[in-house]
């Protein structure tokens, strides 16, 4: 079953980013900022942490955009 942009948790998003060599740069309140590069372009991705709640689909779109990794790669992971 494909979940699309729904039901991604903080842990799943950070695992996905870490698998693609993004590293935690710093934390600002409940936002974790990861840095890395994709296609030789430096990226910074802000991932909100709100316990075990799912990340809102609009926020997931923003995370995907910030990472530079294609939506298909995210959704097929």
pLDDT tens over the chain, length 77 residues: 356 888 899 999 999 999 999 999 999 999 999 999 999 999 999 999 999 999 999 999 999 999 999 999 999 98
Model's pTM, two decimal places? Answer: 0.90
All domains of the chain, ordered by start, with CATH?
A: 10-69 (3.30.920.30)
pLDDT at 21: 96
Q: What integer pLDDT is reported at residue 5 of this predicted model?
A: 85
Distances in Å between the alpha carbon of 5 and those of 20, 39, 51, 52?
19, 23, 18, 16
Which region, left, alpha or beta, applies to residue 55 given φ > 0 means left and ψ of -120 to 50 means alpha? beta
Distance in angstroms (rounded) separating the CA atoms of residues 40 and 29: 29
Q: Which pLDDT value is given to residue 1?
A: 37
Cβ atoms of residues 22 and 69 within 8 Å: no
Return the pLDDT at 41.
95
């Amino acid at each position: 079953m494909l979940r699309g942009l729904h039901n991604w948790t903080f842990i799943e998003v950070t695992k996905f980013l870490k698998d693609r060599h993004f590293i935690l740069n710093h934390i600002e309140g409940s936002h974790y900022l990861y840095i890395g590069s994709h296609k030789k372009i430096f990226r910074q991705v802000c991932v909100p942490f709100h316990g075990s709640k799912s990340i809102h689909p609009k926020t997931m779109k923003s995370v995907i955009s910030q990472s530079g990794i294609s939506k298909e790669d995210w959704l097929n992971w």
